[in-house]
Structure 1
């Protein structure tokens, strides 16, 4: 088995826990700005002392309300400042946070709350409270439902006024690295979500080794700021929040994942994290705006130059002619793209699925380096990540300090390290299947390690399609290339036990508005456009590009364009925009069957 290890850089003492830095920084430098809280269109500075005081006040309220050491407290809210306060307050009270996606259904809420045994739940909006109350009678262990937008934090603060600082200190310091910090439920692309039990050690070890290791330039310098907009119920955003708190990086929260642009302009982050679909939409929006302004050809040439410049940099450096072209388009195109992100953003971290290689080169050439990383909920988010100055586009980087990555005989990626979870909550069987007797966590991803230790993810074991002819096909790389087309929203490759590989595709309603105006299709519906010859030709171009990357046996022979988009709201995507394949196959079985008719 091929392995690659990176030595531990930062150890974490057994007495440490996630709240230490919050309380210690407030003692050392109480006036330092730690966060910026959204208030209308403004950002209000929150100092280290103010953040500690709010965390302590809510923690005292939780203690007064009967929340004890090890009790589970659920949290259902959008990405906002109060999420951080509640998370750290739960930990300061000695309890365990159980995140719930704010888009979850009542059945999903019932499962997570009952499976985790949560004693209380925070919700943000009245709609969230209604979702919980729909199943309240089936949750006998749930004692409290606190609504953030109904004064819950003020209520808890008042209720905990009589709890002494000594009591809070005893409760807070009574938890060490071995204790459970959170139960993060997987997003559930197949079946019911499983609860991943992550300890204080899992999160602290990860945060401190990432921040002092591969991503030190992003966090441990002055004037650094990170804006979060991905759901904090997902471990990816959560670990970045912990890293920001650990390093003193100014942290901001944007609750609107679908319209984060205005917050980028006003917060002006130096670091951003997102999933590939976010970066695809940024590129597509820039391309469409250029086309609307009559500058589509200029944009396409600028994009080609940006990609060429980045590839040349990877190969040793661009020549004089390419450097001159790059400088020209920096003034005409790239500078405007950077300005749209606030003007200070120079690096972003991408995870969740693969970022197209061309897209990675485009953004680097435009002055925003996207660092791909890889990991799972079970590994506290990252196991590998690219770094500034050694970003090998097309890979997900090297293991971070303290991590060993191996490739099994069947190509499965295996992982060891202190960041690997304790196991699935109340599911010993699933835990035993995931972690073998040698301590390797079996990720389910298929990948390769190159001679320098860079990892490439080529597919997912459970998602490998096997055609009727016995050909193994990894759908994800094909889907990523198709989805990169500006008019396409989602793509799902099919072909399991079928005579050939095919795909179902959905169109992006936002992108189509510009296209309709430019192509005389005003008033056309998605249903109209799903059979429009011009649209079908555009989809065929995307399929042809994907097919060029694989062997003939793996190529997509037919496709169907659905007359609706698939979204999280429709139940076909997870909150992190991953396709729920089984749901799509169930709901669009007729369309898939028609491809083989």
Structure 2
């Protein structure tokens, strides 16, 4: 068991707030004029101070109160990550309501299930697409009283049920005029154990479960991150992560606690472009984003070839030697120092410039990050701090630190949290960040939180010194018919590092006599390869079904197999005619593979490899 750190515990006691509303309002009082958020408006970026955000949130909170929303009643947000998401979230917090989050990609049937299960009173719907989902299943959501449309105006047929965001603000202004103490009265009612967030897990299997997160888990997360001193008010975050996901929401809590500014834009296709303009000092992402960035850079260099490619590989070779030294707490000197200075000037600094040139570190979470990928970025002078947590632990349970990291691990446990490894290797967590339970599901709550308060994560791992290492998901581990255990995530991550053209690599072999894989190729990365291999102008389906593409993948599989145990090696693979996506239900919105769904969907192809 890893004990609570005394220093971190003392920091928690002095810095932790009463509830999320207090955390936000204390931030406003401490730094009212500082920039809170930066957001795109047309071709420009606009800023909002903490005071401006407070004024808007209070007005909107009063609008919710005027609509009849009571303390701890649910207000849902069905929207992509944008400035209005934060504003609507804060409105719910200041009204003492609890937020329920809905991914904008969620199917209409699942939206109806979440709204009904959570007994949502009001939904903030991003646009007509989200409104259509609610309209189609209105009879199945009896608790839903109003929909507030973020973009656009309600139609005549919807005007009794739907109102615009501006109309809600006007309603709030009028309510505050007649009830000036309305917000303060609500704030006085909020207790630490009151429900703040009801977040439905994206679910790699089955229907999503509502995770009940009281105010106390968020105030703990904010104080814990402040306590480990990795961020300050002078940092600038670039936030693109889905705020419907717990990873995105914990970053809000941390921001309110510490007071740094955030540039916010959830458009995934704009991440690199925005980072270059915003020049953040840190950014959090799922591993898939780092995989795609690595693949894009490597394929671009390989396509150019010649002297540039040789210079690139030389520079990264030097960077790798410097990375190894820095992981030991040392700095390069002598000949290596001179080589590194040249490599940095000619190549490595240009890689960092793609992300704005000011990144102190990235934060990776939501899924496993391949150690070799972390080492590649570190060779370029870009440190990725991997962390660990689940929706049920309010996202953050451990994190590497800039001056205390071990690549391949998810870092030391947060101060105030305890963790231990069960006899079967499962990671167990206890502490103030753990959920109060699953909504309306006491039996499932009892399955994961035992009588002693330990949350059973479902992840397999071990400690090396104070560093936690994750091996795989307990449910993902499989045993071949020969009785050998295989950890698919490790193999999948390794292949994505080796092959710059891969989209997804799904390892399969439970109760089979050998291990196989389903392969998809990245639609963007493969185009340059196709042009260089006589397949320019061909469709994606034609490229991936070609003999040349299969030979290319086979070469990378052979390279992968050379580093695996015999029973882990990929004996056969099938290339799919399209990539796996969130929209088709094969990936979660946080870019995790829905393994069971994919194996069921492609059962015929998998079986064929074992005929």
For the aligned pair, the TM-score class normalised by the smaller chain equals over 0.9
Write the distance in 1 (CA, Å) between the matches of 2:327 and 2:16.
42
Which whole-Å CA distance do the structure 2 matches of 1:6 and 1:492 have between them? 39
Q: Where do residues 74-473 of structure 1 align in structure 2 (5 Å cutoff)? A: 74-150=76-152, 152-161=164-173, 162-163=175-176, 164-213=179-228, 216-217=229-230, 219-222=231-234, 224-294=235-305, 295-315=308-328, 317=330, 318=332, 320-450=334-464, 452-473=465-486
**Cα shift at 1:531:** 3.7
Give me the whole-angstrom Cα distance separating, in 1, the residues matched to 2:17 and 2:591.
38
Deviation (angstroms), 1:533: 3.6
Does structure 1 residue 63 correspond to structure 2 residue 65?
yes
Deviation at 1:559, TM superposition (A): 1.2
Is residue 287–residue 299 contact of structure 1 (8 Å, CA) maintained in 2? no
- Partner SS state of residue 302, structure 1: helix
Q: Residue deviations 1:396-416, cap 9 Å, x none?
A: 101011111100000000001
What root-mean-square deviation, in Å, do the aligned CA atoms of Structure 1 and Structure 2 show?
Answer: 1.8
Following TM superposition, by how much is the alpha carbon of 1:449 offset from its aligned partner in structure 2, in angstroms? 0.5
Distance (Å, rounded) in 1 between the aligned partners of 2:106 and 2:345:
44
Q: Secondary structure at the match of 1:506?
A: strand
How do 1:23-62 residues align onto structure 2 when only pairs under 5 Å count? Answer: 23-62=25-64
- 1:585 to partner: Cα distance: 1.3
8 Å contact from structure 2 (residues 77, 99) kept in 1: yes
1:562 to 573, 576, 590: 576
Structure 2 unaligned spans of 5+: 154-163
Distance 2:606 2:14 in 1: 52
Deviation, 1:125, is 1.5
Deviation at 1:557, TM superposition (A): 1.6
Q: 1:67 to 1:391 in 2, by over 3 A?
A: same
Unaligned runs of at least 5 residues, structure 1 = none
482, 491, 511: which one aligns with 2:525: 511
2:159 paired residue number? none
Q: Distance in 1 between matches of 2:188 and 2:338?
A: 58
Post-superposition CA distance 1:363-420 (Å, at most 9, x none): 1221221100011000000111100012100111010111111000000000011001
Q: 1:27-73 CA distances to partner (integer Å, 9 max, x unpaired)?
A: 34422221112211212121111010011010000001111111101
Partner secondary structure for residue 362 of structure 1: helix
Equivalent position SS for 2:389? strand
- Per-residue displacement from partner, 1:70-102 (whole Å, max 9, x unpaired)? 110110111111111111110110100001011
Tell me the distance in 1 between the aligned counterparts of 2:17 and 2:3. Answer: 30
1:262, distance to aligned residue in structure 2 (A) = 2.1
Q: What's the offset of the Cα at 1:13?
A: 9.0
Distance 1:302 1:540 in 2: 28
Shift of 1:549: 4.2
Contact 1:516–1:522 at 8 Å: present in 2 too?
yes
Alpha-carbon distance, 1:426 to partner = 0.6
Against the structure 1 CA distance between its residues 33 and 502, is the aligned structure 2 distance closer, same or farther, given a 3 Å change threshold?
Answer: same
Moved more, 36-45 or 234-243: 36-45
> What is the number of equivalent residue pairs in this alignment?
591
Whether the aligned pair in 2 keeps the contact of 1:481 and 1:545 (CA below 8 Å) is: no
Q: Is the 8 A contact 1:12 1:205 kept in 2?
A: no
CA distance in 1, matches of 2:558, 2:5: 40
SS at 2:101 equivalent: strand
Instruction: Report the Cα distance in structure 2 between the residues aligned to 1:417 and 1:437, rounded to whole angstroms.
Output: 14
Native 8 Å contact 2:503 2:520 kept in 1? yes
* Aligned 1:480-559 pairs, distance under 5 A: 480-484=493-497, 485-559=499-573
C-alpha change, 1:14 and 1:289, in structure 2 (3 Å) is: closer
> Residues 546, 453 of structure 1: CA spacing in aligned structure 2 closer, same or farther, 3 A cutoff?
farther
1:199–1:467 Cα change, 3 Å: same
Paired with 1:97 and 1:260, the residues of 2 have a C-alpha distance of 27
Q: Measure the CA separation in 1 of the matches of 2:28 and 2:404.
A: 35
Query: Do 1:307 and 1:361's aligned partners in 2 also have CA atoms closer than 8 Å?
Result: yes
1:103–1:274 distance in 2 versus 1, CA, 3 Å: same
**CA-to-aligned-CA distance 1:164-218 (integer Å, 9 cap, x gap):** 33121010231021111001111111000111100100011011111221xx23x
Q: Could you tell me how far 1:282 is from its partner in structure 2? A: 1.2
Q: Do the aligned partners of 1:114 and 1:139 also contact (CA within 8 Å) in 2? A: yes
Deviations along 1:491-518, whole A, 9 cap, x unmatched?
Answer: 1111111111111110001001111122
The answer as to whether partners of 1:12 and 1:204 remain within 8 angstroms in 2 is no
Q: Secondary structure at the match of 2:106?
A: coil
* CA distance 1:105–1:12, shift in 2 (3 Å): farther
* 1:565 to partner: Cα distance: 1.1
Matched with 2:160 is: none
